Chains A and B, each alone.
Chain A
Amino acid sequence: MAAGGTPKKAGSAIPPKKIMVFGILGSLIGIYAGHFLTIMFGPVFSFLGVLGAICAIVWGADTVRRVCSYGIGTGVPSIGMLAIGMGIVAALFGLEIGGIAGPVVALVIATIIGLIIGLLGNRIMKMGVPIMETATAEIAAAGTLTIVGVSTSMAGSFEIYNIVSHVVANGFIALVFIIGAIAILHPFNSNLGPDEKQDRTLAVAFVDGSIVMIVTGIVVAGVSIASAVPTLVIGLLIWIIAFTKYYSLVKRDAYKVVGTGLLPTEEELS
């Protein structure tokens, strides 16, 4: 974990603003569509919530990528745990007081908490990471939207009593907590290195998002098979597509991909 490479600004082919818009709009549309369509047409549409969560995961992973390439003094995982810790508090609070505007309220609150933590990090603890404030705000927001999205799918709506009895009381929230955190921190952590590329990292974010979706499918199977089948099928499809894409990007970026073989020779290395 210490081998974070030299601190530098990460090069991005897709600009951060674009991914941010994708993350916020995509997840909010997914969450609201999942909520209303499930109420109107039944549980078949509950997968939309976790589809929205995937957008938030991709956004979060991209932000982790930008902030962690500066070297934040401790491992990549801790910022994911921080994001999702803030996310849990903001998400449940927002859903409770916000009513129908719950996801938006949660998003706003998470952004504020994230900003405050970023300010504390840079101003009081003197971490000196240039984009710390905006990055913690973005990661907290992405973590919150991930939690809200996954919980909406699991409970069938984002109404707080539903979420508390279907996701929190039975402890599944712990799963949402850790699977969201890993999905946000794992893409960059597993691609860490001097030749890291944005598209490859984001492909992993989609793979991780699809695992979130598959596991959500298993969870909702306990409530209704009608909502489990589309969630599982779409999750598996995304996994296959994203993994194929990722493998082709690995073959593009790696020094070489071989079936087996000896180590590179001295001449090859020099």
Chain B
Amino acid sequence: MEPLIGMGVLALMGAAAAIAGMSEDLESDVGSQSNPNSQVQLAPQMMYPHRIFNKAISGEPPSNALMCAIGGTTAAILMDSMGMSVLFSVAIGALVAALAHGSYSTMSFFGRPASQKRFKQPIYLDVLRSHIVAIMAFAFVTTFSIVIISYLMITALGHPFPLALLAFIWGIAVGAIGSSTGDVHYGAERQFQNTEFGAGLNAAQSGNIVRKGEAGLRNGIDNLWFCSRFGGPATGIAFAMTVFLSGWITLVFDPSISLTIGWLSVIAGLIIVLILIIFNRKLEVSARNTYGPYKSDKEEVAA
């Protein structure tokens, strides 16, 4: 293929990936999913009942993989068997995925608090009504973007995997990235804004999540507002980097031209990884120098 067209496709994929990563993370923040949800789950037990959505479908990778696989499969059927246009097929696929995701979320919203009867956690129906729309909307955006990425990979870049499988794999990847990056912003900072910034989170604080909002009682939509400042975009960047860089190396050094160029693509990839390692080291050093140690060496000896 014309290398410039390939670059354009890759840029489009990267843009879609940034959107997918961001919406994936915000979807898991507004509904509270994956690891930070353990605090939402623990809070009533520590006598802190709350008004936060408890969306324990599964870890983010499986639930996102499911959304994307449903979207990819539906889109593939509408395109191949019914001859619908690509954009409509993908949109309808994402709609079906969002509806299914809404059903799974509702089950968890009812189920987890109902299993906490002894801690007196009520089930607030208005929380369900206001949050489920946002959850499904983000699920739609995530699925739409991921299926678009997969479709571009197959039609423009000639990837051999079928659409449903590729969407499934990217769903796993975006979920893994979202739960590793953006969720930390929600779990370690937003849920515990009552502790001093940078002091770390003492394990004794577990379950003591912030339950009061800027106005009224805090809910998932307040968390969404906060996490869209940093956690969401960071997730988007991470996923876009993954999609773009892993595609870029084989596009610039196309292994179909010759074996040597194929090996160059591997070397280019290793250099990128090395740069990321060095970047991380610089980050670590600057953080250590800026923040300084929590305790002096003497205390450590005495203790």
A binds B: yes
- Chain A residues near B (Cβ < 8 Å): 1-3, 75-77, 80-81, 169-175, 177-179, 181-182, 185-187, 189-197, 200-201, 204, 207-208, 211, 214-215, 218-219, 221-223, 239, 246-247, 249-250, 253-264, 268-269
Q: Does B82 contact A (CB under 8 A)?
A: yes
Q: Which residues of B contact A256 (CB under 8 A)?
A: 122-123
Subset of 16 A-B contacts with CB under 8 Å: A80-B62, A174-B165, A178-B62, A179-B66, A189-B56, A190-B108, A191-B111, A192-B111, A193-B114, A195-B115, A211-B103, A222-B81, A253-B114, A254-B117, A264-B120, A264-B122
Max count, chain B CB within 10 A of own CB: residue among A2, A170, A178, A268? A178
Q: Is B221 an interface residue (CB 8 A)?
A: no
Contacts A1-B59, A186-B58 hold; do A258 and B38 have CB atoms under 8 A apart? Answer: no
CA distance A268 to B121 in the complex (A): 11
Q: In this complex, what residue of A is CB-closest to B64? A: A178
From residue B144, how far is it (CB to closest CB) to chain A in Å? 17
Q: How far is the CB of B148 from chain A (nearest CB, A)?
A: 16
Report whether B115 and A191 are in contact in the complex, using a CB–CB cutoff of 8 Å. Answer: yes
Closest chain B residue to A242 by CB distance? B107
Is B162 positioned at the interface, with any CB of A under 8 Å from its CB? yes
Q: Given contacts A75-B59, A254-B113, A269-B120, are A171 and B166 in contact (CB under 8 A)?
A: yes
CA distance A76 to B34 in the complex (A): 11
Chain A neighbourhood of B113, CB < 8 A: 254-255
Interface residues of B in 237-267 (CB under 8 A from A): none
Give the complex CA separation of A223 and B80 in angstroms. Answer: 10
Asked if B186 is at the interface of the complex by the 8 Å CB criterion, the answer is no
Q: In the complex, are the beta carbons of A175 and B168 less than 8 A apart? A: yes
Assuming the A-B contacts A175-B164, A193-B112, A193-B116, are A254 and B34 also in contact, with contact meaning beta carbons closer than 8 angstroms in the complex? no
Q: How many A-B residue pairs have CB under 8 A?
A: 202
Residue B211 interfacial (CB < 8 Å):
yes
With A3-B42, A174-B165 given, can you name 19 additional A-B contacts, CB distance below 8 Å?
A1-B34, A1-B37, A170-B80, A172-B73, A172-B76, A175-B164, A178-B65, A190-B104, A192-B56, A193-B114, A193-B116, A194-B118, A195-B114, A201-B111, A215-B74, A239-B103, A250-B111, A255-B117, A258-B125
User: What chain A residues lie within 8 Å of B41 (beta carbons)?
Assistant: 3, 192-193
The answer to whether the Cβ of B195 comes within 8 Å of any Cβ in the partner chain is no
Please state if B114 and A254 are interface contacts (CB–CB under 8 Å): yes
A215 touches B125 (CB 8 A): no
- Contact indicator A247/B49 (Cβ below 8 Å): no
Q: Give the bracket for the number of chain B residues in contact with chain A.
A: 35 or more
B25-52, CB under 8 A of A: which get 1 and which 0? 0000000001101100110010101110
- B contact residues around A189 at 8 Å (CB): 56-58, 108
Supposing A81-B62, A200-B111 touch, asked if A175 and B73 sit within 8 A by C-beta, the answer is: yes
A170 touches B164 (CB 8 A): yes
CB < 8 Å neighbour of A223 from B37, B76, B81: B81
Q: Mark B154-171, 1 if CB is under 8 A from A, else 0.
A: 000000011111111100
List CB contacts (< 8 Å) of B127-171 with chain A.
161-169
A174 and B116 contact, Cβ closer than 8 Å, known pairs A75-B59, A189-B57: no
Q: How far is A197 from B168 in the complex, measured between Cα atoms in Å?
A: 32
Mask: chain B, 86-100; 1 = CB below 8 Å from A; 0 = not: 000000000010001
Query: Closest 8 CB pairs between A and B?
Result: A193-B115, A171-B162, A222-B81, A171-B165, A171-B164, A190-B108, A222-B77, A174-B168
Nearest-CB distance from B189 to chain A (Å)?
Answer: 19
Contacts of B38 in A (CB 8 A): 1-3
Instruction: Give the residues in chain B near A208, CB-CB below 8 Å.
Output: 104, 107
Contact of A170 among B76, B82, B107, B118 (CB under 8 A): B76
Q: Which residue of B lies closest to A1 (CB)?
A: B38
**Contact: A182 with B126, CB < 8 Å?**
no
Given known pairs A174-B165, A222-B80, the reply for A186 and B69 (CB within 8 Å) is no
User: Chain B's nearest CB lies how many Å from the CB of A17?
Assistant: 25
Q: Indicate whether A207 sits within 8 Å of B70 (C-beta atoms), given known contacts A222-B80, A255-B117, A259-B125.
A: no
